[in-house]
Amino acid sequence: MSEIKNVQVRARPTDALGVYVHVPFCARTCDYCAFYQVSPTAPMIRQYLDGVAREASLIDWIKPVDTVFWGGGTPGLLAPADLKKLGEMVRARFGGTPVEWSVELAPASVTEARLAVLRELGVTRISMGAQSFQPELLSALGRPHTREQILRAYERIRAAGFANVNIDLMFALPGQDEAAWLADVREAVALAPEHLSTYCLTFEEDTALWVKLSEGKVKLDPEREAQLYEKTWEQLNAAGYAQYEISNFARSGHQCLHNLNTWRMQEWIGLGPSAASQYAGWRGTNIDDLAAWDEKLGRGERATEDRTALTPDLLLEDALVFGLRMNEGVDLAALRANHPRAPWAAVDQLVERLATEGLATLRDSRLALTLRGRLIADAIGTEVMSAMEEKLSV
């Protein structure tokens, strides 16, 4: 790991603070997933819980935590007693009551006992990875649950008293036509969650689906993806879910605050192997290996790799790239005030072109992508980065 010699910017003390806890355990690996996770043994779980405690003790908790997100992996794979232990350990660092505390659960791991522990800890929001309700698509994803398990899990989550629930769905799957996808959207909407995340399948390197893609057994179809994006947005909007980011939709007042804070380039502390942090003037990612992460912590060192100083230019670039993925867009005047010395001429040039081409609107100083722009948000993000880099290298 290269240590930073010169931290150039201290984050503003008014920034919101999030905590992300990565629980790196799954019963098996889904065919599309590249997140760091392993199949756990009892000693690994002990190692993980002890490691998180050690990692938390090495952090300078200088302000109260606003939002918490436990992701994975599958946090719900931990036994109720371990969830309690993990929860009490991190809660001791919050310095108050967070406004939102989300936990990701896979349907097969949703039990009354686990939900009761999470409620008791103060968890406010459950995010359930359904992906699809259709057996043949779940099987094409190598996803170890059934439609019935999703429905039962959802009922249990509601019965336990959770009033803020998200469901993850995936589209552009091998063998999924438009009708099959829209049927999944309808089925999720019929459950009436407060929030829906709809992710277009990405073929991540070294996953089982990526191997199939490289063998020509499945094919990419960007035109079909764009059609499915548009149909999804239409259908969810009609059902009362407002889009607030490319893949995220919510009933009024139920946007995920933790993710919003991240996309708005606030601060977050990552705990657990592979968790990312952006805190106190730097960003970095923890080693994505449970044993190596733990070993480093055992020597009294943070297990963060690739530490980078948060320079104004880096923050501006990410504020633009992530901000433009949100429907609210970005406030250019506020960004200009926070980053007066950034390469504004390059950004202004790009903004003008996006507006002329009908890919973005500029109202007062707020820049937001149009529907056409949102469909090519990744390409626009790449343009933002190269505009910034061209000027930076001068």
Ligand X SMILES: C[S@@+](CC[C@H](N)C(=O)[O-])C[C@H]1O[C@@H](n2cnc3c(N)ncnc32)[C@H](O)[C@@H]1O
- Give the x-and-dash track for 167-206 against ligand X (CB under 6 A): -x-x----------------------------x-xx-x--
CB of 316 to ligand SF4, least distance (A): 32
The answer to the question of residue 107 lying near ligand SF4 (CB under 6 A) is no
Single out the residue of 47, 74, 255, 266 in contact with ligand X (rule: CB under 6 A).
Answer: 74
Site for ligand X in 90-109 (CB under 6 A): 104, 106
For tokens 């009708």, the residue is 179
Give the residue among 48, 120, 52, 109 at the shortest CA–CA distance from 79.
109
The answer to the question of residue 33 lying near ligand X (CB under 6 A) is yes
Residue range at the interface with ligand X (CB under 6 A); choices 1-9, 27-35, 159-167, 343-351: 27-35
User: Out of ligand SF4, ligand X, none, which partner does residue 146 contact, by CB within 5 to 8 A per kind?
Assistant: none
Single out the residue of 131, 134, 164, 259 in contact with ligand X (rule: CB under 6 A).
Answer: 131
Q: Is residue 310 packed enough to be buried (19+ CB in 10 Å), middle (13-18) or exposed (0-12)?
A: buried
Cis peptide before 18 (omega within 30 of 0): no
User: Out of ligand X, ligand SF4, none, which partner does residue 168 contact, by CB within 5 to 8 A per kind?
Assistant: ligand X
CA–CA gap between residue 262 and residue 382 (Å, rounded): 19
- Count of beta carbons in the 10 Å neighbourhood of residue 33: 20
Q: Is residue 299 packed enough to be buried (19+ CB in 10 Å), middle (13-18) or exposed (0-12)?
A: exposed
Interface with ligand X: number of residues (CB under 6 A): 17
Single out the residue of 4, 9, 35, 385 in contact with ligand SF4 (rule: CB under 6 A).
Answer: 35
> In 245-261, which positions are buried (b, 16+ CB within 10 angstroms) versus exposed (e)?
bbbbbbbeebbbbbbbb
Q: For residue 112, give every residue at least 6 positions away whose Cβ sits within 8 Å of its Cβ, in sequence order, or none.
A: 156, 159, 160
Site for ligand SF4 in 67-106 (CB under 6 A): 72-74, 106
The answer to the question of residue 360 lying near ligand X (CB under 6 A) is no
CB of 26 to ligand SF4, least distance (A): 3
User: Out of ligand X, ligand SF4, none, which partner does residue 29 contact, by CB within 5 to 8 A per kind?
Assistant: ligand SF4
Q: For residue 335, give every residue at least 6 positions away whose Cβ sits within 8 Å of its Cβ, in sequence order, or none.
A: 316, 319, 320, 342
The answer to the question of residue 273 lying near ligand SF4 (CB under 6 A) is no
DSSP for 217-263 reads SS---HHHHHHHHHHHHHHHHHTT-EEEETTEEESTT-S-HHHHHHH
> Quick one: tokens of 352?
């003008």
The answer to the question of residue 29 lying near ligand SF4 (CB under 6 A) is yes
The answer to the question of residue 386 lying near ligand X (CB under 6 A) is no
Single out the residue of 24, 129, 193, 373 in contact with ligand X (rule: CB under 6 A).
Answer: 129
Amino acid identity of residue 59, one-letter, is I
CA–CA gap between residue 50 and residue 53 (Å, rounded): 5
The answer to the question of residue 129 lying near ligand SF4 (CB under 6 A) is yes
Q: Are 308 and 314 in contact (CB under 8 A)?
A: yes
Where does this chain bind ligand SF4 (CB under 6 A)? Answer: 26, 29-30, 33, 35, 37, 72-74, 106, 129
Contact residues for ligand X, defined by CB under 6 A: 32-33, 35, 71-74, 104, 106, 129, 131, 168, 170, 199, 201-202, 204
